[in-house]
Amino acid sequence: MDRPARGLGLFRRHTRTPAGALFRRIFLINGLVFTLGTLVLAVSPATVSARVRLTEVPVLLIGLAVILAANAVLLRTSLAPLDALIASMRRVDPLRRGERVDSPPNGDLAHLIDTFNAMVERLESERTAASASALAAQEGERRRIARELHDEIGQSLTVALLSMKRVIDRAPAEMADDLHGVQETVRGCLDEVRGIARRLRPDVLEDLGLHSALAALCGEVTAAGLEVTRDIDRQLPRLSPDVELVCYRVAQEGLTNIVRHAGARQVHIGLHARDDHLVLRVRDDGRGGVIREGAGIRGMRERALLIDAVLSIESPPGHGTVLRLAIPRNDFESRP
């Protein structure tokens, strides 16, 4: 049993690896260059004395320069793909689609580049699956909280309003004004709870579609004191549920950021099919200058990855912010 194991170890030691292949390539290049240099010196009429003469120094320097130049060109050509590989490694971002490195048709680095591309593909697939699972759990929790707000707290506040109405009807006149004030406070709390429930669980999105859901979002922003213009293609069919939900959440987060941070007066939201993409665009005339990407923007990027979309943000200081979500046409087929 010992001999087969020893033989297997020797086999593994001699297995071709990228590092070993690169070593052999460099060794062969250097060997080839020096061999050719030796042959050239052997067949050429140039000779060198035992003690090098001053007139022979230029010949030696020229030969050395030719050998070094040939060696440099061959090694540079062989190792050039490493620059693209390193640049691609530096650009890898967990929240953005990574570019793939073009693999040379041959050469020992082709295996390394193919392995790197496969690794990036695998990481993106695993990241997308993990994000999909996390966001699905998040949406489920949103629905549960919205249902409890509507069914439990909403109903309790409604009962409180009805009870207060009966109390006001039987209360003395000097207490009526105070009770009316309390009643309005409770009614305001009920309206706020219903609004939170609607934002957590957009029933209008499921029932009427993305167009109506975006219109409702614009209505909320208008109520906050901003002027909103819409340019939404009414000819768009119903989209897949995932695409509609991502578009709605991205628009919702973008409008929320505008209300809270942008200091804008006007907002424009558009949704159109352009060539091979569906494009959602949210633009404001606020202060711009978005440099840091907070949790909201990271959440939008994670949602964009779920439908293979590209989220871009342009925010020059003093010129507002433009948020653009581009979804490939193959990923937003209409549903029945």
Intra-chain end-to-end CA distance of the chain, in Å: 65
Q: How confident is the model at residue 268 (pLDDT cuts 50, 70, 90)?
A: very high
Whether the per-residue pLDDT at 285 is higher than 80: the answer is: yes
pLDDT at 4 over 60: no
**Quick count: other Cβ atoms within 10 Å of Cβ 202?**
22
Higher confidence at residue 178 or residue 4? 178
Q: What is the predicted pLDDT for the residue at 52? A: 55
Q: For residue 99, how many other CB atoms are within 10 A of its CB?
A: 13
73: Cβ contacts below 8 Å, ≥ 6 apart:
none
What strands, in cross-sheet order, belong to the sheet with 322-328? 227-232, 266-274, 277-284, 322-328, 310-314
| Residue 44 pLDDT | 64
Whether the pLDDT of residue 125 is over 60: the answer is yes
Residue 300, pLDDT score: 86
Which residues neighbour 44 within 8 Å (Cβ) at sequence distance 6 or greater? none
Question: Which tokens is 279 given?
Answer: 């494009």
**Report for 154-163, 206-215, 264-273: range of highest mean pLDDT:** 264-273
Q: Are 219 and 227 in contact (CB under 8 A)?
A: no
Residue range 147-202, pLDDT digits in tens? 787 778 888 888 888 888 888 888 787 787 788 888 888 888 888 887 787 777 77
Spatial contact of 98 and 91, defined as CB atoms under 8 Å apart: yes
**pLDDT at 282 (0 to 100):** 93
Whole-angstrom distance, CA of residue 214 vs CA of residue 84? 43
Question: Does residue 23 carry a pLDDT above 80?
Answer: no
Tell me what percent of the residues of the chain surpass a pLDDT of 70: 74
* Strand-pair partners of 279: 272, 326
Confidence of residue 283 (pLDDT cuts 50, 70, 90): very high
Query: How much is the average pLDDT of 192-217?
Result: 81
Task: Choose among 145, 284, 280, 294: nearest CA to 221.
Answer: 284
- Predicted local confidence at residue 325, as pLDDT: 92
Report the C-alpha gap between 257 and 300 in whole angstroms: 12
Beta strands in the chain (DSSP E): 227-232, 266-274, 277-284, 310-314, 322-328
| Domain ranges for the chain | 227-336
Q: In terms of DSSP H, where are the helices of 272-317?
A: 295-306
Please give the DSSP secondary-structure letter assigned to residue 56. G
Picking from 73, 81, 72, 70, the residue whose alpha carbon sits closest to that of residue 108 is 81
99 has a pLDDT exceeding 80: no
- Least confident interval from 100-104, 227-231, 301-305: 100-104
d(CA 117, CA 81): 13
More confident residue, 133 or 330: 133
Gap between the Cα atoms of 176 and 28, Å rounded: 100
Domain 227-336 class, CATH top level: alpha beta
Query: How large is the average pLDDT for residues 62-71?
Result: 72
Task: Tell me the pLDDT of the chain averaged across its residues.
Answer: 76
Ranges 27-36, 120-129, 320-329, most confident: 320-329
* 306-318 pLDDT, tens digit each: 888 888 888 888 8
Q: Residue 1: what pLDDT?
A: 44
